[in-house]
Structure 1
Amino acid sequence: MRQLVYYVASTLDGFVAGPRGEVDFFSADGDHMQAITEQYPETVPVHFRTMLGIDPPNRTIDTVLEGRGSYQTGLDDGVANAFPHLRHFVFSRTLAPDVAPGVEVVASDPVERVRELKLEPGERIWLCGGGEIAGALRDEIDELAIKIYPVAIGAGRPLFGTAGFAPSHLTVTSSRTFDDGVVFVHYTRG
């Protein structure tokens, strides 16, 4: 069965974005970027691949999932499909089904669709964000890979949205601290 990995950036206080979707406090500079890009080359958006002149092959991920808010961030920057090298799903009840070539809009239950995807042959499935879709899919997440940035913002969009109180114990499988202060922690369901 395929695994769902929630690979995301977070603040020290557990937010994936500011109250209005701000993410400019997550720096792309620093020594953490090269190491993480080498581990997860699939997660490099097409506009950065083009800008950097790189085309790293997919290693362990072949599908990406996004919620409407995360997807909107790319649309606002003029990027309708940041991941054409992956099978791309956006969960939304408001987007047109033909929003962009290579992007499949899913208006139905995300849990049901993810369970179907997990049964298909293929590599791991990456939950790109955001917090609301992660909250809806929390029980389906097999791995959690968090880039924790050395910044606290006080308020914003939580790592698991408004999922509510439901303790879930995970096992740390690796942890690495970079010189730029970013801590990359990888968890699995224990």
Structure 2
Amino acid sequence: MRELTYYVGSSLDGYIAGPRGEFDGLPVELDVAAAMNGLRPETVPTAFREAAGLAGASNREFDTVLMGAATYRAGGTPSPYAHLRQYVFTAASEADSPDVTAVAADPAAFVRGLKAEAGLGIWLCGGGRLAASLAAEIDRIVVKRYPVLFGAGIPMFAGAYAPLSFTLTENRAFESGAVVQTYRKA
């Protein structure tokens, strides 16, 4: 069965974007980018793959990406991850590209269907409300935690109080001060 991984960048205080969806407060740390691009080249947007030296890189971990509507719009292109199956959860009936499937269905039921299919893993790219609605379906969380405080913004999980236990399986510190932590559902 395929796994759902929430792979996301976060501030120290748990925000994935600023109050108006700004994500420029999360630094691009070269040491983290080099390590993560080597492990998960498919998470680099299509528009930046060539510049990152990943133009011909194969998908290693994921073949599917899930995005909330705001995360999709922040990508700035109609097909931000053309090398993956792309789903955007939105009330709108269509996405801006035939390469992106708009989903208005219940996210958890939809993900359970994807998990039953053959293929590589499923990457939950963001945002906070979508992550909260899928929390029970998340098998693994990989968070790139950067040494910056936002104070306010869009949290990693923007939903109701509903505790779920995860176990830390990897904690990798970088010279830049960033940490990449991997958690598995307990």
TM-score normalised per structure 1: 0.94
Which stretches in structure 2 are left out of the alignment for 5+ residues?
A: none
Alignment-derived partner of residue 166 in structure 2: 170
Secondary structure at the aligned position of 2:36 is classed as: helix
**How do residues 22-101 of structure 1 correspond to structure 2 at under 5 angstroms?**
22-55=22-55, 56-74=57-75, 77=76, 79-94=77-92, 96-101=93-98
CA distance in 2 between counterparts of 1:98 and 1:68 reads: 9
1:53: Cα distance to partner? 4.3
- Which shows bigger deviation, 41-50 or 141-150? 41-50
Partners in 2 of 1:123 and 1:52 — Cα distance? 23
Cα separation, partners in 2 of 1:3 and 1:62, compared to 1, 3 Å: same
Letter in 1 for 2:180: F
Provide the residue aligned with 1:146 in structure 2: 143
Of the three residues 118, 132, 136, the one matched with 1:135 is: 132
Q: Deviations over 1:44-94 (max 9, x none)?
A: 1011113334222101211000000100101xx3x1111111111000002
Structure 1 vs Structure 2 CA RMSD = 1.1
1: CA distance, partners of 2:140 / 2:95: 30
The TM-score, its normalising length taken from structure 2, stands at: 0.96
| Cα separation, 1, equivalents of 2:30 and 2:165 | 31
Structure 2 contact 18–25 (Cα < 8 Å) conserved: no
Return the offset for 1:29: 3.3
CA distance in 2, matches of 1:85, 1:31: 24
Q: 1:11 to 1:59 in 2, by over 3 A?
A: same
Report the equivalent of 2:9: 9
Which whole-Å CA distance do the structure 2 matches of 1:168 and 1:140 have between them?
A: 11
Structure 1: 5+ residue runs without aligned partners?
A: none
Alignment match, 1:159: 156
> In the alignment, which residue of structure 2 is the partner of 1:119?
116
